[in-house]
Amino acid sequence: MIACYARVSTSRQKTDSQVSEINRWLSANGHDENEVVWYEDKETGKHINRKSFKRLQHDIFSGKVKVVILWKLDRLSRRLLDGITILADWCERGVKVIVVTQQIELGGPVGRMIAAVMLGLAEIELEYRRERQDAGIAVAKRRGKYRGRKAGTQKVKPQRARELRERGLKIAEIETALGVSKSTVMRYLKVA
């Protein structure tokens, strides 16, 4: 079975462009859409505790999945250690990993080395982005133009978190549904 994995960082984003690009690759390489299973997550790549990713891992471990297709390697993980560990494990299990936009096929020791370099670059970019944001905030503060978020502003109403919890959703599921962090969910549950 072929697994296609797409991930965006928040619930407000869409995987449409990733899905389109992967579908184009599948079509160009003569793969039938009936032999493909899609796994999509709408949460950060900073951790691997993602619902669809866990399902993908389970299917790989049970031997169902032999090929994983990604749009870009950083969709798998934004952390070097996590990414290398995952890819090394998959390669050991004989899973072929294809990254369509970067035109690479990972397998064996050379594939793991290439993946390590690319995941390292993804992690560096994440750090650079954070540094650029911090630098921009520092400049705005010096100029007196940065006020930050207004006190008490919220992405969603805390009551919504309580409603989801009462329906039996787990904290991680509430995080995904609301597009907020675990600490924010915990704070919302205390407030509500």
Least confident of 16-25, 82-91, 108-117, 136-145: 108-117
68 DSSP β-pair partners: 3, 97
Q: How crowded is the C-beta side of 63, counted as CA atoms within 13 Å? A: 0
Least confident of 28-32, 147-151, 162-166: 147-151
Rounded to an integer, what distance in angstroms lies between the CA atom of residue 106 and that of residue 180? 33
Rounded to an integer, what distance in angstroms lies between the CA atom of residue 83 and that of residue 75? 10
H or E stretch at 8:
strand 2-8
CA distances for 150 relative to 18, 133, 171, 184, 188, angstroms: 35, 18, 26, 16, 17
pLDDT digits (tens, 9 = 90+) for 114-128: 767 777 777 787 788
The answer to whether 76 and 70 have CB atoms below 8 angstroms apart is yes
Instruction: Give the residue ranges of DSSP H helices in the chain.
Output: 16-28, 51-61, 80-92, 108-142, 158-166, 171-178, 182-191
Q: What is the mean pLDDT of residues 34-40?
A: 90
Sign of CA dihedral 102, 105, 106, 109: negative
pLDDT at 152 > cutoff 70: no
Q: How crowded is the C-beta side of 11, counted as CA atoms within 13 Å? A: 13
Residue 113: pLDDT band with limits 50, 70, 90: confident
Nearest residue to 99 (alpha-carbon basis) of 77, 74, 69, 121: 69
Residue scoring higher pLDDT (168 or 47): 168
C-alpha dihedral over 30, 36, 42, 45, to 10 degrees? -80
The answer to whether 98 and 72 have CB atoms below 8 angstroms apart is no
CA 14 to mean position of chain CA atoms: 12
Predicted pLDDT of residue 54: 93
Q: What is the mean pLDDT of the chain?
A: 83
Q: What is the mean pLDDT of residues 159-184?
A: 84
The answer to whether 98 and 69 have CB atoms below 8 angstroms apart is yes
